[in-house]
Structure 1
Amino acid sequence: MSFPVHAITLDLDDTIWPIAPAIVRAETALDAWLAEHAPRAAAMWPLAERQRLREVANTERPRLAHDMTAQRQWMLERMLALAGEDVALTGSAYDAYFAARCDVEHYADSVPALERLAARVPLAALSNGNACLQTIGLMHLFAFQLGAREHGAAKPAASIFRAACDRLGLAPAQVLHVGDDPHMDVIGAHEAGLRTCWVNRVDDAGKTRDWERRSLRPDLEFPTLAALADWLDANHLEPISR
């Protein structure tokens, strides 16, 4: 399929890098920080207990479901308070967690592909997560980063996709959204009027996922961002002028 693309919005977690290893590193860093600075909280809140507290946060504070930063900070404050630790340590505990959460390992194709894509059209990051592209070192390839926290609603809400299009100065139909999640990325973007690309990466068993919704399919499907860059190269003869 061929169609004009004037800009691309991209999901981050599990599209540019795998999220699971970053979360493991973040939780490990938090364990180490708690052991050193808040040992009673470390004893009271091993990972399994923190996961249960996350479920409590989802139940008691549903209005923060789109704001992972506020949700995590609330959890840390509650952990410290219930363990009899100084809640003033919340900010430092979060900083330790977040630094490791942004210590991502990109998929092998991601950065070269992003460089190729950015040479063709403006890129914008559109994520429900709270990773910081400035910290990660990729912000120079993007026009802007719009997160669910800043927008006030998470994908698949149409409003976040349309807000990104407004910032790009383009109609939704001129923008291609790229992401790994069939519901959050493909269906959400389609319903907001964007073109869609499903990044369906090969898993550890060497398999890709099946598309399960018969009434709607992504406009494009690729196993890597490199394949998307190949497609864009074939459909755009000259890089955009900056």
Structure 2
Amino acid sequence: MPATPLDFSRIRAITLDLDDTLWPVWPTIARAEAQLQAWLAEHAPATVAWSAQPGVLRAIRDEVNRELADRAHDLSALRRESIRRAMERAGDDPALAGPAFEVFYAERQRVDLFDDALPALEYLSSRFPVVALSNGNADVQRVGLGRYFHAAVSAREVGAAKPDARIFHRGAQAAGVAASQVLHVGDDAHLDGVGALNAGMQVAWLNRTGLPWEHAPHAPHLTVAGLAALCERLRQERG
């Protein structure tokens, strides 16, 4: 049970996570990586051969994450640099990293929404300013959902990723309300839940798989199994 029940009367805006809240992210990433590999096979075959060695791609990612720790909030920059280093070490032209990343990025914007995502977006956006709040690099305009969002805030542009309070406060600012007037909705108990609570927001934890909450003394104001359940609770309270 939540320590403090959700105060529906305080809600003036919604901030909404994207990956694993509106769509499952890993099938999307897998398709994007497959597209990248197909492009590399045609344009940078030495990179494909080199990266087939066990452990080399993981080592590159770990190296980039370590050396660019100050850019951990920018997933696009980290992936682009990983591609560039792989090309360089394989003997391909590292200038191809830019076009290669764009192939990955374009496919990353093709998502398969959860069944309850569009009805929820239609309901929420008709009643509140809805602000996308994401650590990832999905673009709500390119995904095709831009009409539902008042604004979109990314970790890359803020320079800080969830659970840092700064990204939540930027989301509230984008909505034109105080943090205490925001209901944040997201699937990650730590990044979304604890982060938003520490930023002074109310939290609806989207728990599609029935996981236990393991972040006491923090507790979400509301836990729902899906976005449809969230909208139904809001309907009941608003009458």
| TM-score over 0.5 (shorter chain) | yes
Does the 8 Å contact 1:40/1:85 carry over to 2? yes
Alignment-derived partner of residue 38 in structure 1: 44
Q: Distance in 1 between matches of 2:100 and 2:194?
A: 36
**From 199, 214, 217, the counterpart of 2:216:** 214
Q: Write out aligned runs for 1:89-128 (5 A).
A: 89-128=96-135
Q: Distance in 1 between matches of 2:56 and 2:225?
A: 36
**From 144, 149, 161, the counterpart of 1:142:** 149
Does the 8 Å contact 2:131/2:174 carry over to 1? no
Alignment-derived partner of residue 3 in structure 1: 8
Q: State TM-score, norm by structure 1.
A: 0.92
Instruction: Name the SS of the counterpart of 1:176 in structure 2.
Output: strand
Alignment-derived partner of residue 72 in structure 1: 79
Does the 8 Å contact 2:120/2:227 carry over to 1? yes
Shift of 1:213: 2.6
Instruction: Name the SS of the counterpart of 2:8 in structure 1.
Output: coil
Q: Which letter does structure 2 place at the counterpart of 1:67?
A: D
Q: Which letter does structure 2 place at the counterpart of 1:158?
A: A
Q: Which letter does structure 2 place at the counterpart of 1:40?
A: A
Q: State TM-score, norm by structure 2.
A: 0.93
Identity %: 45
Alignment-derived partner of residue 171 in structure 1: 178
Q: Distance in 1 between matches of 2:190 and 2:129?
A: 24
Report Cα offsets for 1:56-97 as digits up to 9, x if no partner. 111121011110011111111111111111122111100111
Report Cα offsets for 1:211-232 as digits up to 9, x if no partner. 1233121001101111111112
Does the 8 Å contact 1:120/1:236 carry over to 2? no
Q: Does 1:17 align with 2:19?
A: no
Query: Which stretch of the first structure deviates more once superposed, 43-52 or 67-76?
Result: 43-52
Instruction: Name the SS of the counterpart of 1:117 in structure 2.
Output: helix
Does the 8 Å contact 2:84/2:94 carry over to 1? yes
Does the 8 Å contact 2:180/2:202 carry over to 1? yes
* Structure 1 gap segments, 5+ residues each: 203-207, 238-242
Shift of 1:48: 5.1
Q: Which letter does structure 2 place at the counterpart of 1:38?
A: A
Q: Which letter does structure 2 place at the counterpart of 1:35?
A: A
Does the 8 Å contact 1:117/1:232 carry over to 2? no
**What root-mean-square deviation, in Å, do the aligned CA atoms of Structure 1 and Structure 2 show?**
1.3
Alignment-derived partner of residue 240 in structure 1: none
Does the 8 Å contact 2:60/2:85 carry over to 1? no
Report Cα offsets for 1:149-188 as digits up to 9, x if no partner. 0110000001111111112121111000010111100100
Shift of 1:42: 0.9
Moved runs in structure 1, 4+ residues, more than 6 A? none
Q: Distance in 1 between matches of 2:55 and 2:37?
A: 12
Q: Distance in 2 between matches of 1:164 and 1:113?
A: 19
Q: Distance in 1 between matches of 2:167 and 2:146?
A: 19
